[in-house]
Structure 1
Amino acid sequence: MRFSQVDVFSAEPLLGNPVAVVHDAAGLSDEQMAAFARWTNLSETTFLLPPTDPAADYRLRIWTPGGELPFAGHPTLGSAHAWLEAGGVPAGDDVVQECGAGLVTIRRGDRLSFAAPPLTRSGPVDEADLEAIAAALRVGRDDLVDAAWIDNGPGWVGVLLADAATVLALEPDWAAFGDLKIGVVGPYADGPLAVELRAFCPGYGMPEDPVTGSLNAGVGQWLAGTRLPRSYVAGQGTVLQRAGRVHVSLVGTPGTGEVWVGGDTRTTVAGSVDL
């Protein structure tokens, strides 16, 4: 089977988030997919399949070392890149991906970008969860400037802290997370980046994800056009010695408009895999 490993959200080599992509994976069982995802030990491994929806160009299954996801952002961009590079031709101007979250549109341009899918859970976070989040992050309850559920499949709860420096200084208590998947955001006062993000998800088999499209999509739906500009660049992965750059833009009304999430993609490994 053809195999690609694509670095996503960085124009520089080896500074983004890699996704392993297996092409023509229709013959693989769930057990084989799960085993390969554990073996790659990347935050996500994907499998390209023929679509079942006539509106889609291909179907994608997305696995972490800990199980399958209905949607994830950097695997969406990296898999679209691999599919196009392998000769895939979309039916229309955009690429349409079928996945567990439904149909996702991927726009081609200076860089690939996806339309953020609808949130499966949104709204305020109750006090008990806020106390648990503060404990997991090892911060005071009053340090949480704002919080909201911004779940588009992986389970994200978004937390706004005072600034980027506070985000970068976090040393979470992994044993306190339970089922929580926490995305933390802190603004920069000036410079090319609007915010710094960190994505904590120990339940998926990796304590911190380097650069996270799904989280950035949820943050854009939550904060773009209000606490953040309508279009901005987010940084992620700094603590992990990465330099992720995520381009987020809002079209329409804050809170209800369409959010697009884009980033650079490049193949770093290409070959075949025997499963």
Structure 2
Amino acid sequence: MNSVAYVTVDVFTSERFSGNQLAVIPDARGLTDAQMQNIAAEFRYSEVTFLLPPQDRANTAQVRIFTPAMEIPFAGHPNVGTAFVLGRQNEIFGRPAGDVLRFEEKAGLVEAALTRDAEGHVIGAGIFAPQPLSLGPQVDSETIARCTSIEVAAISLATHAPVIASVGLPFAVAELADLETLGKACPNTAAFAEAGRRYSPEDGQFALFLYVRQPENPWALRARMFAPLDNVIEDPATGSASGALGALLTSVVPDTDAIVEITIEQGVEMARRSVIGVTAVKSNGQVQSVRIAGQCAAVMSGSILL
């Protein structure tokens, strides 16, 4: 193989050159793990997806997700963007893609459903998180403050303490008191490395998702995500973190049964505004499902020389 085709899309936006960039390799057969990692490092997007034939033909494809530094088990915007790409090309490995796609990933099976406009054109997708909400240790406010160069007093404990949360990929999640503080947040790599050793001793990774509730609507949020240890200083849209946050906020709703719809705006400070829709369903006191959805815009296509 001398070259491999790629497509790029902007995810969680309907406008080109905003949202979160994603590169998709629609046919990664023949690529080694090292080549996949090198390609992801070359793009320097938050993630690149590589598609392989599924192990189970009942599924659509095996999807591997790489950041510039490592392979990860699950992420939100790569799944939404990959589904969008396959929906627009209508087939994968010689088979029709269909409107419901099933991706085999390290975190489990991810189901994606295409969304279309009134004329039937594919405009985005929604996915279900592959794992139920799991909570790790609480993170002390001083660590959050050091990691983001903010004052401890700006961290809100009204709804929950800062905590590691995951629906397939773990993030430290913390609420801030106001948008001004959110806008001033700046990652301190040394503090992130210390937090990684303390809270993620197995791999040393520590990613942080900060958010603020809009006063006029508590289910409309603004967020920022920092992962400097993964060579992602800031991410313009983080579906996996949004899903974890949506599940966490739904879990603390006092009702035992609820359907919570959350809109998360991210990437504003990077001039790449993204809009992420999260729907969490709670039944008998437990969060049963988390859906992460958004629109996409096609940007580029070409080939990579190997």
Contact 2:281–2:287 (8 Å) recurs in 1: no
Partner of 2:203: none
Task: Report the secondary structure of 1:28's partner residue.
Answer: coil
Q: 1:102 aligns with which of 97, 103, 108?
A: 108
1:186-212 Cα offsets, whole Å, 9 max, x none, are: 111137971111111001112111111
Greater displacement, 77-86 / 65-74: 77-86
Q: Distance in 2 between matches of 1:164 and 1:95?
A: 37
Q: 1:60 aligns with which of 50, 63, 66?
A: 63
Contact 1:71–1:154 (8 Å) recurs in 2: yes
Q: Distance in 2 between matches of 1:136 and 1:6?
A: 30
Partner of 2:121: none
Query: 1:225 offset after TM fit, Å?
Result: 7.0
Query: 1:170 offset after TM fit, Å?
Result: 1.3
For 1:215, the aligned partner's letter is A
Q: Distance in 2 between matches of 1:216 and 1:55?
A: 29
Q: Distance in 2 between matches of 1:121 and 1:223?
A: 13
Contact 1:224–1:231 (8 Å) recurs in 2: no
Q: 1:117 aligns with which of 130, 146, 169?
A: 130
Task: Report the secondary structure of 2:111's partner residue.
Answer: strand
Aligned residues with identical type, % of pairs: 31
Partner of 1:149: 164
Q: 1:36 aligns with which of 27, 36, 39?
A: 39
Q: 1:176 aligns with which of 181, 191, 215?
A: 191
For 2:207, the aligned partner's letter is K
Contact 1:60–1:98 (8 Å) recurs in 2: yes
Q: Distance in 2 between matches of 1:274 and 1:120?
A: 41
Greater displacement, 138-147 / 4-13: 138-147
* Residues 119 and 192 of structure 1: CA distance in aligned 2, closer, same or farther (over 3 Å): closer
Task: Report the secondary structure of 1:223's partner residue.
Answer: helix
Matched, 1:201 2:232: no
Q: 2:21 aligns with which of 11, 18, 22?
A: 18
Task: Report the secondary structure of 1:157's partner residue.
Answer: strand
Partner of 1:249: 279
Q: Distance in 2 between matches of 1:27 and 1:36?
A: 14
1:101-125 Cα offsets, whole Å, 9 max, x none, are: 1101112234411112225741441
Task: Report the secondary structure of 1:166's partner residue.
Answer: helix
Q: Distance in 1 between matches of 2:286 and 2:212?
A: 19
> What TM-score does the superposition give when structure 2 sets the normalisation length?
0.81
Greater displacement, 160-169 / 236-245: 160-169
* Residues 55 and 142 of structure 1: CA distance in aligned 2, closer, same or farther (over 3 Å): farther
For 1:12, the aligned partner's letter is E
Q: Distance in 2 between matches of 1:193 and 1:221?
A: 12
Partner of 2:180: 165
Task: Report the secondary structure of 1:11's partner residue.
Answer: coil
Q: Distance in 1 between matches of 2:33 and 2:139?
A: 36
Query: 1:176 offset after TM fit, Å?
Result: 1.0
Query: 1:163 offset after TM fit, Å?
Result: 2.9
Bigger Cα Rg: 2
Q: Distance in 1 between matches of 2:249 and 2:146?
A: 24
For 2:269, the aligned partner's letter is V
Q: Distance in 2 between matches of 1:215 and 1:120?
A: 11
Higher strand content, 1 or 2? 2
Contact 1:192–1:233 (8 Å) recurs in 2: no
Greater displacement, 238-247 / 54-63: 54-63
Query: 1:174 offset after TM fit, Å?
Result: 2.4
Q: Distance in 2 between matches of 1:46 and 1:236?
A: 21
Partner of 2:201: none
For 1:158, the aligned partner's letter is V
Q: Distance in 2 between matches of 1:121 and 1:231?
A: 20
* Residues 79 and 217 of structure 1: CA distance in aligned 2, closer, same or farther (over 3 Å): same
Partner of 1:234: 264
* Structure 2 stretches lacking a partner, 5+ long: 117-123, 197-205
* Structure 1 stretches lacking a partner, 5+ long: none
> What TM-score does the superposition give when structure 1 sets the normalisation length?
0.90
Matched, 1:132 2:147: no
